[in-house]
Structure 1
Amino acid sequence: QIYFRIIVLGDTAVGKSSLLRCFAEGPGGGGVGAATPCPTVGVEFYSRTILLPPAGKAKLQLWDTAGQERFRSITRSFYRSAAGVLLVFDLTNRASFEHVPEWYREAAGDRPPTFVLVGHKCDLAAERVVSVEEAGHLAATLGMAFVETSARSNLNVELAFQMLAGGIQRALGQGGLTPHQGCGGIRLIPGQSRRRPPARGEPRERCQC
């Protein structure tokens, strides 16, 4: 099994938390009947293990980041250790789409992680202000895949994360990304599920993120 650290970026109120909850907890977590989540403060954490074709599993450690500018200094520290980024905009909010290149530049750094562009709230067809063609063109320009999703309708939510995990796997195979020791964005997980507790007087390992 392998571990991928994934962050979800985008403007505030584009539906990042709903998308993540729908994926991590099932449709009830962010879909029909779910209360509108409050804006994320700093970073929230989820995890889920998925099947990764052709034969394997990946544990996704999912970080939900705040979109507000005042939390940017907190969330920025997580960019460097991410193996993949879901870059989310709201199909009914033109400004959130126009901010995508800015989010991309901020998260890409020197060694860009794998990106997937997500146009969220596609169930609100009458209110959309960004076309499939326009979003697809931007994604191609930035060198990433594009998918439209709806947490409310549970549409393509699973697909978005599978696309990202598959992209990370391909980058690994091509040598673009490498597993890290410690607490990097990609880590090989030993088959043994239990670890020996430290003996008396033996220092515990500390994550140096």
Structure 2
Amino acid sequence: MAKKQYDLLFKLLLIGDSGVGKTCILYRFSDDAFNTTFISTIGIDFKIKTIELKGKKIKLQIWDTAGQERFHTITTSYYRGAMGIMLVYDITNAKSFDNIAKWLRNIDEHASEDVEKMLLGNKCDMADRRMVSKERGEQIAKDHNIRFLETSAKANIHIDKAFYDLAEAILDKMPSKTNDEGGVVVRPTDQKQQSGSRCC
């Protein structure tokens, strides 16, 4: 049988309003390409890219969701099993930033509790058309205790960094397996609690 080409598989999700540049971010990262003529994502699309991080080969399965309301019910099921979520807004579009609160509520409702989140203010190359200050982005990220970066898919600013940082955050959270055969995962914190308390 062929050897597995990667050590870990991370499912990532890109969410945010329609037109903020989610698909452009994905294509810049996966294919190092930028295209100004993307058609709106219909439903869902995904790309795979394998990266090396801390000596491990990590396969990133990145799902690009449609921002339009009419596809909303399709996309909620994709939150399940996502290990990292990028919330994207457009710095030249104040409404897309205001809607971040709504997207955060969606994550709380549909995603697993420990999902890693990152906020991206996209199109930062268009400084002359900026409607949302970097400080506002930093503040909402701080309020929700999530990472924040300003990115540009067009100028290729912080795109790789965003994906690598998110993947690293997921990796750092993973407990190290102590028993390869049984696949039993023991977290040191669990042990202390068990030894100190009597059964049931």
Shared fold, TM over 0.5: yes
Which of 17, 20, 34 is matched with 1:14 structurally? 20
Give the match for residue 69 of structure 2: 69
- Normalized against structure 2, the TM-score is what? 0.81
Quote the sequence identity (%): 39
Question: Would the aligned equivalents of 1:147 and 1:156 in 2 still touch at CA under 8 Å?
Answer: yes
Give the match for residue 30 of structure 2: 24
Matched, 1:164 2:170: no
SS across alignment from 1:58: strand
Count of aligned pairs between the two proteins: 170
- Normalized against structure 1, the TM-score is what? 0.78
SS across alignment from 1:102: helix
- The list of structure 1 runs, each at least 4 consecutive aligned residues, that deviate by more than 6 angstroms after superposition, is none
Moved more, 105-114 or 82-91: 105-114
Question: Would the aligned equivalents of 1:118 and 1:147 in 2 still touch at CA under 8 Å?
Answer: yes
* Bigger relative CO (Cα 8 Å, ≥ 6 apart): 1
Matched, 1:155 2:157: yes
Q: CA deviation at 1:162?
A: 0.7
Give the match for residue 141 of structure 1: 143
Q: CA deviation at 1:125?
A: 0.3
Give the aligned residue type for 2:15. L
1:1-209 counterparts in 2 under 5 A? 1-26=7-32, 29-30=33-34, 34-53=35-54, 55-109=55-109, 111-173=113-175
Post-superposition CA distance 1:118-172 (Å, at most 9, x none): 0000000000111111110100111100001101101110001011101111222
2-side partners of 1:38 and 1:133: how far apart? 31
Pairwise CA RMSD of aligned residues?
1.7
1-side partners of 2:20 and 2:105: how far apart? 19
Give the match for residue 197 of structure 2: none
Where do 5+ consecutive residues of structure 2 fail to align? 1-6, 177-182, 184-200
1-side partners of 2:165 and 2:175: how far apart? 15
Q: 1:129 to 1:35 in 2, by over 3 A?
A: closer
1-side partners of 2:17 and 2:132: how far apart? 15
Question: Would the aligned equivalents of 1:18 and 1:151 in 2 still touch at CA under 8 Å?
Answer: yes
2-side partners of 1:35 and 1:99: how far apart? 24
SS across alignment from 1:151: coil
Give the aligned residue type for 1:4. F
